[in-house]
Structure 1
């Protein structure tokens, strides 16, 4: 299952991190986010803060891969 988040939703999620008492991994598990996606989005937010006029169409929607059981039951 894939979940799409807008840039604004990512910003809100990343802002919630400062109030979360656990590790980055625990935060990602709590929000069903892959840890690699979290770090990628955090880097993109930092880049956007350095250059707020930078808008890239390919970053308008973000994909998070949620892990699920991939075994076939036939």
Structure 2
């Protein structure tokens, strides 16, 4: 997976955990935490999508080479 997407996902997940730990129970609003978790998930999905596209491209090259 693209290391940039993984780094963004990790940073967002860490921020979500920090928000959860650092706020007193009565002040906890899940909105910020959920936004960071959603951003982390989206970075992971985007990274995986790019990996699958690259695998598909390589398989196409192999198929073309075998048909020669």
| Interval of TM-score (by shorter of Structure 1 and Structure 2) | 0.3 to 0.5
More helix per residue:
2
Give me the TM-score of the superposition, normalised by structure 1. 0.39
